[in-house]
Amino acid sequence: MKKVTMEKKIIKWGIIGLGKIAAKFATDLATVENAELVAVASRSEGKATDFAKKFGAKNAYKSYEALAKDAEVDAVYIATPHSFHKEHAILCLENKKAVLCEKPFAMNLQEVEEMIAVAKENNVLLMEALWTYFLPHFTYVLDLVKTKKYGELKKLEADFGFYNTYDTDRRLFKKEVGGGSLLDIGIYPIFAALSTLGTPVTIEADAIFFKNGADAECNMLFNYKNATAHLKSTLLENTPTEAVFTFDTAIVKINTQFHAPSSVTILKNDTEETINFDYKTIGYSFETEHFNTLLRENKKQSNVMSFDFSRSLISILDTVRESINLTY
C-alpha cells in the first residue's frame, strides 16, 4: 500500500530588528525544514537591504509597519531592544501575524499582560523566545529534575557574566531601552531557577550600578521551602556561565554557556561523566521548530513557554528590580 504523507505548510517568516541575535536566528532559520525568510525590516533602509541580501529575503522594509502588513508573512520574529517589544509585538498581532518575541518578553508584567490580551483579542499565536527552554541539553536536565533520578534538587548555582567596556552609545548599557545586566543576561539564571525549582518563596538581591543607573551586576538569592538558588549576572567580568544543580545523590553541571548549546557533566560517587549533544546549529532552530509546529496546529500559545510561565518570569524580574531599586 502506498504511504501517504501530509506535506507540512511552509511557514513564511519576517524579522523586525536586525542586530546580532536576528542574524543568528536567520542563520538557523535556513536549517529548518518548511520554513522560509521572506521579509525583514529595519529603521535603516540600507541595513534592511543588506540583511535581506545576506539571508535571501525577497522583501526589505524600512518600516516595521510595512512588514506587519505584508500579506505573505505568517510569523514575525521580534529582535528590537527590550523597551520596544510590546509596541512591535502588538503592531504585528493586530495585523494577524503570529509573534515570536525575543526575551525579555517586555519591560514589566503590565506590558506582558497587554501583549497577551491583544494576542487573545486577535486570536493569534504569541510566544516569548527564550531559546534555552528548547535546547536538548537543558531539556535533559529538566527531565532529571522531573523524574528525580538523583533525588530532590537542593541547590542551584547559576551565573552569566562577561566583561564589556562601558559605552552608553551601545544598547547593552542604555538604561532607557532596558540595558544592563538583569534584563539582558540575568534573565537566564532566573529562568534556570524558575524552570527547575519554580517560583521562590522569598527573593534577596543586591546590585552594582553604572554611572547612568543601569545595573552592572546583580546578585540574587532565591529561597524555596527545601532549596536555594544562588544567581548572578554581571557585565564587569567574565564568569564561568555555568548552571550547577546539586541533587541528593549527584551534582549535575551544565558547562560553560549553559544558556546556549552546551554539554552536561554528572558527578556521582567519585565518577564524572560528560554528555555531549552533538549540536549542528547555533541553537535557535529548536524554538523555531516548536513555534512552527504550534502555528501549523493552530495553537495560540506554547505548552512549554506558556503565558503563565512568561508571566512568572517577568514577575520575578520585576521583584528583583524593586529589590535593587532599579527603574526604567
Shared domain check, 155 and 87: no
Q: Position 292: which residue type?
A: N
The answer to whether 253 is a known catalytic residue is no
121-126 average pLDDT score: 98
- Cβ atoms within 10 Å of 37's Cβ, excluding its own: 23
Q: Are residues 154 and 196 in the same domain?
A: yes
Residues 107 and 124 in one domain: yes
For residue 292, pLDDT beyond 60: yes
140 & 271 share domain: yes
The confidence score (pLDDT) of residue 49 equals: 98
C-alpha cell at 158: 547559576
Cis upstream peptide for 104 (omega within 30°): yes
- pLDDT recorded at residue 148: 98
Q: 175 near 212, Cβ under 8 Å?
A: yes
Chain mean position to CA 52: 24
Phi first, then psi, for residue 271 (nearest 5°) are -115, 155
Contact 116, 94 (CB under 8 A): no
Q: What is the pLDDT of residue 328?
A: 85
Residue range(s) defining the domain that contains residue 122: 11-130+285-300
Same domain? For 147 and 109 the reply is: no
Q: Which candidate in 97, 103, 174, 232 is catalytic?
A: 103
Residue 310 belongs to a domain: no
Provide long-range contacts, Cβ within 8 A and 24+ apart, for 196-204.
Answer: 196/141, 196/142, 196/145, 196/153, 196/156, 196/245, 197/153, 197/156, 197/222, 197/224, 197/227, 197/229, 198/224, 199/312, 199/316, 200/224, 200/229, 200/316, 201/225, 203/316, 203/319, 203/320, 203/323, 204/323
- The C-alpha angle with vertex 131 and arms to 286 and 97, in degrees rounded to 5, equals 80
Q: What is the mean pLDDT of residues 166-173?
A: 92
Residue 125 lies in a domain: yes
Cβ contact 73:318 at 8 Å: no
| CATH code, domain with 71 | 3.40.50.720
What residue type is 155 in one-letter code? K
Q: Are residues 153 and 247 in the same domain?
A: yes
Using one digit for the tens of pLDDT, what is the confidence trace for 219-235?
999 999 999 999 999 99
Distance (Å, rounded) from C-alpha 168 to C-alpha 102?
22
Q: Are residues 177 and 155 in the same domain?
A: yes
Q: Determine the Cα–Cα distance for residues 26 and 36; give it in Å rounded to an integer.
A: 9
pLDDT of residue 42: 97
- Which tens digit of pLDDT belongs to each residue from 209-222? 999 999 999 999 99
> Which pLDDT band holds residue 7 (cuts at 50, 70, 90)?
low
The residue with greater pLDDT, 315 or 2, is 315
For cell 551534582, the residue is 251
Q: Within a domain: residue 322?
A: no
Please tell me whether residues 63 and 187 are part of one structural domain.
Answer: no
Taking only the tens place, the pLDDT of each residue in 128-157 is: 999 999 999 999 999 999 999 999 999 999
pLDDT of residue 5: 42
Do 189 and 118 fall within a single domain? no
Asked whether residue 323 is domain-assigned, the answer is no
pTM for this entry? 0.96
